[in-house]
Amino acid sequence: MVGTDFRQVNSSGNERHVSEVRRVTGISLAANLALSALKFATGILGNSQAVVADAVHSLSDSVTDIAVLVGVKFWSKPPDHTHPHGHWRIEFLVTALIGLLLATAALALAYNALIICPISKGPPEWIAFVAAIISIFAKELLYRWTISVGKRIKSAALIANAWHHRSDGLSSIPAAIAVAGAVLVPSLDWLDRVGALVISIFILHAAWKIVRPSLDELVDKGAPEEVLVGIKQIAIKTQGVEGVHAIRTRNIGYGVQVDLHIVVDPSLSVEVGHQISEEVKRRLIDYVSDVVDVMVHLEPRRNDGKKR
């Protein structure tokens, strides 16, 4: 039985991963705080309850940014005696938390759309509309940048946070419509409620898309069937391998761990069997995307000529 040293395989990638997560999230946090302050100020000065509420929603993005910045310190720790596979599942816990916060924000928007109490006096002003438009474009840019980096470094937390950016940008749309409608046609103030309700449904859908993959990771969901087929094909084509079975996979951080059994000639020496296992391991890491750790179990062919 032979396996890779997961610590050595991922040490350099781990450092780059953590550095990118911290850099992107730090910039996002600063942008979210700036946008929140802008919308609070213009919402109050422009007599717009919708923009003030949107500012509160932007603050929820700051909470998720802080959750990622704090969480990365824990999930980036190297494997130790009590956590031999590392601490990567903490990232999926943080990701699930972001999704739940996103769902909470969506429910709050829906509640405000159905039951809303005016807090301002007088019609909204254009300054509030300008702030909402700035928020829409700024949050969309943050979304595109964050999700691009998240997919490149395969960070579930960054991808989840990107969707939170987009949800914040989407929530600014009904705010902008409400302000513009109230300024141009005061009788159209009901657009705020309808728009917020529709957007809240979109945000709930995004929250589910974030939470579901994290739950799959936490319950050790294996690789797709096509990946398992590829693993078996590569292993069986290795010289000296007569059979392959009991293939199991799981995610470890941003890579895949493979566990499989191979059948070999029982007359082979231990050294030769070890060499065959090493070759299987090397081929899987080289040719199967995302595979970073392989555990190979040797089994002798049965004396009756059948494979186990």
Query: Domain map of the chain by residue range?
Result: 2-218, 225-300
Which two three-digit tokens encode residue 191? 């657009």
Strands (E), the chain: 2-3, 243-252, 255-264, 291-300
Which two three-digit tokens encode residue 126? 């254009």
Q: Radius of gyration over alpha carbons of the chain, in Å?
A: 26
Q: Which residue has the tokens 């993959």?
A: 213
User: CA nearest 301: which of 261, 246, 247, 271?
Assistant: 261
Q: Give me the pLDDT at residue 6, please.
A: 42
Q: Give me the pLDDT at residue 145, please.
A: 94
* 149 and 20 Cβ atoms separated by less than 8 Å: yes
* 167 and 99 Cβ atoms separated by less than 8 Å: no
Side by side, the strands of the sheet bearing 243-252 are 2-3, 291-300, 255-264, 243-252
Q: Which residue has the tokens 């700035």?
A: 134
CATH hierarchy code of domain 2-218: 1.20.1510.10
Q: Which residue has the tokens 């392989």?
A: 294
Rounded Cα–Cα distance for residues 162 and 41 (Å) = 25
Q: Give me the pLDDT at residue 254, please.
A: 63
Could you check whether 2-218 and 225-300 share the same CATH topology?
A: no
Written as tens digits, the pLDDT of the chain (308 aa) is 444 444 444 455 566 677 888 888 889 889 989 998 998 899 888 877 778 777 777 776 677 777 777 777 777 677 777 776 667 777 777 778 878 887 887 788 778 767 755 444 567 788 989 999 999 999 999 999 999 998 888 787 788 888 888 888 887 888 888 888 888 887 776 766 676 677 778 778 877 877 887 777 776 676 778 888 889 999 999 999 999 998 988 877 667 889 999 999 999 999 998 999 999 999 998 888 778 789 899 889 876 555 55
Pick one of 3.40.50.1580, 3.30.70.1350, 3.20.20.100, 3.40.50.2300 as the CATH number of 225-300: 3.30.70.1350
Q: Give me the pLDDT at residue 37, please.
A: 92
For the chain, the residue count is 308
Q: Give me the pLDDT at residue 137, please.
A: 94
Q: Cβ atoms within 10 A of the Cβ of 303, count?
A: 7
CA atoms within 13 A on the CB side of 50: 36
* 287 and 234 Cβ atoms separated by less than 8 Å: yes
Q: Which residue has the tokens 């987009």?
A: 166
